[in-house]
Each structure stands twice: as C-alpha cells, then as structure tokens.
Amino acid sequence: MRTEITYYQSKTSLRETVEHFSGLNTTKSMHLGLFFLFKYLGISKTETIDGEIIRESGNLGLDLLGGLGDPQEVIGLRGCLFPFGIKPTIMKSDYYNGGTQLSRIYGRVKDTIDNSLIDLYLKVIRDEGKPVKYVFKFNYIEIVQSILPLTGKITIDHFARWIYRFVSIVLPEEEYKRYSEDPKLVTKVLIKKFLADFNITKEEEDAFFLHKDHPTELSKDKFSGGDLRALLSFQDAPEVKNTLAVVPRALVKTDIIYSDEVKTMSESTGDNISTKELLDLLLWKKQVILAGPPGTGKTFTAKVLESEFDHSEIHQLHPSTDYESFIGGYKYNAVKDTFIPQAGFFTEACEYARTKPQENHLLILDEINRTNLSNVLGETILVLERDYESSLSNTLDTVGGSKVSKLSIPENLYIIGTMNSADRSIALMDYAIRRRFAFVNFAPNYEILEDLSEYGPDFEINISTLLKKINFRLYTELKNIHLLIGHTYFIPPDYTGGKIQWTKESLKLIFHYTIIPLLEEYTYGNDSQLHAILGDQLPNPRMEADELIAELLHQFPDAKT
C-alpha cells in the first residue's frame, strides 16, 4: 500500500511571489481582481450571471483571490487583498472593501459592479420581472488588457501560486523526489488548475499572461494565514478575530489537490486528453479511435496505455489488409501441404482474451483508416456492438488449437484505433463503424515541446512558439485543422529521453527535410500558399544553418527566445 503525504508551497516560493506582486504598478487592482472573480463564476461574452448568484457565490472566488486568512481563521476588517494591490507597505486603500467585515464583503461585489464596472468590461441585461444579469462586453479582452500591470501581462506562475497559497498537495511518498528535483512540475500543476478553475480560454491566456517556468518548492510544513501575513508589510493590518475556529469559513473547492489530479495535471498533454482520462474512456466505451493530424502522438499515447493491461498487441493496418488477414480465411499450411481455414489476427486476439477471462487485453489497430474497414470486417461488423455474435462462413483454426465458427468480442478485450485525419480516406469510413467507437481528437502539443527543449546560448529560437506560429499561418491559408503539423515532427529521430539539446544544424535537418516537404505536400500545386506560410526564402534547401535561423526569426519574430 503506497504512503501519501500532504505538502504545501514553501514559504520561500510564496515570498518570491509576494515580492513579485509588490513590485508591480497596477492602477486598477480592484477592477482586475474582480475580473478574475467573474471568470471564476463563469461569466463570459455569452454566459450571463445574475446579481444574487454573485452575492451568494462570490465568497469562494474571493477567498482564492484575496483572502488573508486560511480557512481555519476568522478575519474581520481588511481581510481581502488582491495580489495586484500588494505594495511594499499596505494601507487601507489597498484592500478590497477594507472597511467591511470579511464575512459580509461578498455582498458588496454587486455594489461595486453597479458603481464602477458597468462602464468598464461588464454590461447589464435587464428584463422586466427577472433578476438583473451581467455579461462581458464584446471587447472585454481589449479593455482588460488596458488595466493590466505596466509590465503588460501577468506572470501566470506567480498568480497561480498566490491563488493556491493555502492549498495542500497530496503526493505518494515515492513521487516527492521527482517533484523536488523538477519543481517546475509543481508550478505546471498549479497553472493548469488555475486555468480550469477560473475558466480561462486560450484567447485570454495568450492576451493576459506570461509563462516564466518559475520553480515552486514544496514543504511538509503547512502554510498558514499567519505565514502569509508575515510576508507582507502593513500600515493597516488585517483584523484577525479568531484562529482555529470551531466553525471554519466555507472551504473552497480547491482546498486539496489529490495525487491523481496532480499526476494528470503534471503531464505535458497540451490541449489533448490525459492518459487517465483516456484510460477511463476506454474502460467505459471499450472501443476508442484517436484521430488527428500526423505527428500528434496518437500511436505513442496508445502504447503508453499498454502498461495498464495484462496483455497487449499492436497491428498496423494498410491498403492490403483484407478480410482473410483480419477475420480469417483459407491460407496455405506448409506442414499439411494444403489450404486450411485459418483465423486472422483480430479473431486470434478475441479468442486469446476469451481464454484468459481474469485478465484485461488491449488491441491497438494503428492507422485504422488506411484500409477499407467495412470490407475487412464484412458481415462481422455487427460484433462491434459487443452484445452480438456473428456466424462465420468457415470454421477457423486458431494458433491455440481451438476452432471458431462464431465471432464475438469478449468483455475483457479493449480496442484502440489510430487515424490520421489529414488522410482523405477518413471520409470513407462507414458511419456504422463510426458510431461504434468513441472518437478522441488530437492536436499539436506545444507544451511538450516547451518542456523537452533545451537551448544553448547561441540558439535564438523557441521551438514550441515556432511550431505554433507556423501552424497559425498554415490554418490561415488552408482553413483545415486536420492539416496542421504535429509536435513529433520536431522531436529528433534519435531522441531517447531527457531534454532535446537543440542546435542550428539539428533544426536545419528537421526543417528542410521534414517540415518543408510536408508543407509542399499540403500546398501541392499552389506555390503562393507555400510562400504565404513560409515566405519566399525558407523553402530554399540550400540555405546554411545561420541563414535559416535568421530567416525564421524574420518570418516569425515572436519565436525568438
């Protein structure tokens, strides 16, 4: 039985965060803090919320955003301080409604909206006889950008640390070493939780935040409200009415981050499904297809799940895959010197799983759309329903010596198919087959490139950003999300683990002999599209490495490290 230990952010990490915010110059700290409260409550350009819900539910978000006491404390006046209001010396005017008891401050949010925010990023919707509702203005992103700190953006690492300053993180004891040796993993977990809890969209993330990869140290010592207040300097200090309260304040929904959640959020999944979510889906649905542009890690992800099963096998399908090789048919037997009805690999997998009912079996069908699956399955397509069996035209011999006259899929056999969505043959897949699988779409994973890439002092390009910018132009020109470049194109073929040590020469090899040929295929017969994506010079394969870097930075200046 594994031992799990509760950890907290260290005082050192939170001291760095407090020092960071105290050095900012935010002129509208209240307006900015409340914007994130509204995000927490679910307001958007289309989602409205009424004033009474804000009055009733705002306490949870305000605790996260500005509470100066931990959940076991009762705080009176001056209890809510948004991080943007932190100053070298904190005065009464820096608090949010510092003259109101913390227990009553939640009811003041609607008053602030009506007095200060209706003319800023919120608008009011009034219907006679119905509660007043609030929604973001259509240009709220531009408006919020205008009230960001003078640095231009918020460092999301520090913001997430502040939000979860009192939150405990549960880890298996044996996992602590990994998180202590790579403390950026802790920051990643906190950031992902913040983005989810506060409903931050990709557009908002790009507009409001900077990622700096600050490491976050863990400590076994609980971080308390007293520890937080000791990091701040007050002219007008918070009023601490009681500690270790008999009836603590309502705990926020993010009070504990459990080990399974930590494991999921520490994965470099980007916008793709996590391993745990995919496993849960597979165990529920039994049959899943992973679809997406080439190079998005579909097969790699499927193979990662092999360790969760007692037995697994993988078969790559291709245009020559037929009914006889998949289900079964007459094949020449050299020992008997005759043709005998022999089971195909799918039938063999079903029968093998049936002989071991106490084990879970995984069958991976790689590039499932490269064959005509309707023809390959024939009359046995019905068995994908799992509740049916299909009579075979011949009794088939299996490798184990048994004979099969009817085909069905046992409950302990799970199937993953992978599918390249850039392949036009995907459109030919029979709808009867489609509805029998759960479909999971994969996208380029910029996060994993960010995590794996390491640059020397003379390497000036951020590979993750470069791919993102190329894909943006690619989509702008072709208007097809299935024709994007997957992240694995930028993982060297000799990669065996650890960090990718980028050099100008390794980038040149990948770019000229992998990326450009792929783009030429996508834009075949239309050179104007290729040049719109890369410019006029980059398609030239005779460029030297230094010339390539210079031209990439000219075309994609945001990719500069």
| pLDDT tens per residue across all 561 residues of the chain | 678 999 999 999 999 999 999 999 888 999 999 999 999 999 999 999 887 777 666 677 888 999 999 888 888 899 999 999 999 999 999 999 999 887 788 778 888 888 888 889 999 888 887 888 999 999 999 999 999 998 889 999 999 999 999 999 999 988 888 888 888 899 999 999 999 999 999 999 999 999 888 899 999 999 999 999 999 999 999 999 876 554 444 444 457 898 888 988 889 998 899 999 999 999 999 999 999 999 999 999 999 999 999 999 999 999 899 999 999 998 877 777 788 899 999 999 999 999 999 999 999 999 998 888 888 888 888 899 888 999 998 899 999 889 999 999 999 999 999 999 877 555 556 677 788 899 999 999 999 999 899 898 889 999 999 999 999 999 999 999 999 999 999 998 888 888 899 999 999 999 999 999 999 999 998 999 999 999 999 888 788 999 999 999 999 998 988
Q: Same structural domain for residues 193 and 332?
A: no
* Gap between the Cα atoms of 39 and 203, Å rounded: 13
* Gap between the Cα atoms of 83 and 163, Å rounded: 9
- Could you tell me where the DSSP H helices lie in 243-341? 259-266, 275-285, 298-304, 323-326
Tokens, residue 473: 């132009």
Chain-centroid distance, C-alpha 82: 27
Of 395, 416, 387, 386, which is closest to residue 327 (Cα–Cα)?
A: 395
* Gap between the Cα atoms of 266 and 276, Å rounded: 12
Which DSSP symbol is given to 132? -
φ, ψ for residue 115, nearest 5 deg: -90, -30
Q: Same structural domain for residues 358 and 430?
A: yes
Q: Print the domain residue range for 406.
A: 275-441
* Gap between the Cα atoms of 21 and 17, Å rounded: 6
* Number of Cβ atoms within 10 Å of the Cβ of 335: 6
Q: Are 511 and 466 in contact (CB under 8 A)?
A: no
Q: Are 168 and 6 in contact (CB under 8 A)?
A: yes
Of 101, 447, 462, 31, which is closest to residue 249 (Cα–Cα)?
A: 101
Confidence (pLDDT) at 248: 46
Q: Which residues of 413-427 are buried (b: 16+ CB within 10 A; e: fewer)?
A: bbbbbbbbbbbeebe
Chain-centroid distance, C-alpha 363: 26
Of 68, 84, 90, which is closest to residue 29 (Cα–Cα)?
A: 84
Confidence (pLDDT) at 478: 94
Rounded to a whole number of angstroms, the distance between the first and last alpha carbons of the chain is 45
φ, ψ for residue 417, nearest 5 deg: -110, 145
| 399 Cβ contact partners less than 8 Å away, ≥ 6 residues apart | 343, 348
Beta bridge partners of 209: 154
Domain final position from 232, 266, 300: 266
* Gap between the Cα atoms of 301 and 366, Å rounded: 12
* Gap between the Cα atoms of 350 and 19, Å rounded: 61
Domain final position from 216, 243, 266: 266
Q: Same structural domain for residues 422 and 499?
A: no
Q: Same structural domain for residues 284 and 382?
A: yes
* Residue 448 CA: distances (Å) to CA of 185, 269, 370, 444, 491: 12, 7, 28, 9, 10
Domain final position from 397, 420, 441: 441
* Gap between the Cα atoms of 394 and 340, Å rounded: 10
11 exposure class (CB count in 10 Å sphere: 0-12, 13-18, 19+): middle
Rg of the chain in Å (alpha carbons): 29
Tokens, residue 54: 């804000």
Q: Is 267 helix (H, G, I), strand (E, B) or coil?
A: coil
Of 154, 141, 171, which is closest to residue 3 (Cα–Cα)?
A: 171
Q: How many domains does the chain have?
A: 3
Give residue for tokens 């391993």: 275
Q: Same structural domain for residues 433 and 459?
A: no
CATH code at position 413: 3.40.50.300
Q: Same structural domain for residues 28 and 143?
A: yes
* Gap between the Cα atoms of 82 and 63, Å rounded: 10
* Gap between the Cα atoms of 293 and 162, Å rounded: 37
Q: Same structural domain for residues 332 and 435?
A: yes
Confidence (pLDDT) at 363: 98
Q: Are 395 and 404 in contact (CB under 8 A)?
A: yes
Q: Same structural domain for residues 251 and 386?
A: no
Q: Is the dihedral of CA 369, 372, 376, 377 positive or negative?
A: positive
Q: Same structural domain for residues 71 and 102?
A: yes
Q: Same structural domain for residues 423 and 451?
A: no
Q: Same structural domain for residues 117 and 227?
A: yes
* Number of Cβ atoms within 10 Å of the Cβ of 312: 19
Give residue for tokens 């990326």: 515
Q: Are 559 and 553 in contact (CB under 8 A)?
A: yes
Q: Is 79 helix (H, G, I), strand (E, B) or coil?
A: coil
Q: Same structural domain for residues 280 and 380?
A: yes
276-280 long-range Cβ contacts below 8 angstroms, 24+ apart:
278/305, 278/440, 279/305, 279/308
Q: Is 315 helix (H, G, I), strand (E, B) or coil?
A: strand
